[in-house]
Amino acid sequence: MREVSIRQLWGRAWYLFKVNWLLLVGLLVLYVIVSFIPFIGGLIAWLLPLPALVRVGYLVARQGQSSFGEAFGDLSLLLKVFVYLFILLLIPGILIGLGYVLMLGSTVAGVAATYAEAYTEGGKEAMSGVMALSGTGGILVVVGYLLLFILSLFGWAGYYAILSERAGVFSAIGQSFSLTAQNFGTVFLGLLSFIGLVILGAIPCGLGLLVVVPMSFVFWPLLYSALTGEEGASHA
């Protein structure tokens, strides 16, 4: 396990962000704007702007600088990053989505059950069914978010294994889980530091997030490089 200073990595990420702030913030804003396109905006944002932002963060960490051209320059890599993201979020997304559907259904059914409880003999049974439906939905949501947290924590490095061409989409999952397990304390400390910065960034009407969020896209590949021993801007 390598000795890694989270504080130094954030300092390096801050320096690289200042050099590339227009590119990083621009891609983040593009991602947010595209996300608000009705119906298909979220899918398009995940398919292009978000993978491009991940790629730029990796290139900035490796090279010190990048460009919009490089962000979208290799569509095959962007597609691999998208597929990796999709795989990580598929099961948690299904659980969370199904849970909310059940909870919404229980709310609608609850109105009918309330009426039934007041005016029919089977009202109590109907209300019990509604409560069971709501409880099941709540459990699915909690399990989904817990699984999402675990997969995000252990799967964060897969993007950079793909971008560095050390691994394919599926083998990147195993490499990321292995790297995180071997350096769990460092990775978890990095996550806690990110959460702390997000909280601080949200205080001034959320404006600080325009710095913290894009800077984090540089921090994580810097951490990956530090843990794997890759040469690049992280060692400059």
pLDDT tens-digit map of 55-73: 999 999 999 999 999 999 8
pTM of full prediction above 0.75: yes
For residue 82, give the nearest of 163, 146, 178 by alpha carbon: 163
User: How far is it, in rounded angstroms, from Cα 94 to Cα 215?
Assistant: 30
Give 173-226 pLDDT, tens digit per residue. Answer: 999 999 999 999 999 999 999 999 999 999 888 889 999 999 999 999 999 999
DSSP assignment of 131-158, as one string?
A: HHHHHHHHHHHHHHHHHHHHHHHHHTTH
Give 27-46 pLDDT, tens digit per residue. Answer: 999 999 999 998 899 899 99
User: How far is it, in rounded angstroms, from Cα 128 to Cα 68?
Assistant: 56
User: How far is it, in rounded angstroms, from Cα 177 to Cα 192?
Assistant: 18
24 pLDDT band, cuts 50/70/90, is very high
For residue 221, give the nearest of 48, 68, 60 by alpha carbon: 60
130, 136 contact by CB (below 8 A) = no
The domain limits of the chain are 6-235
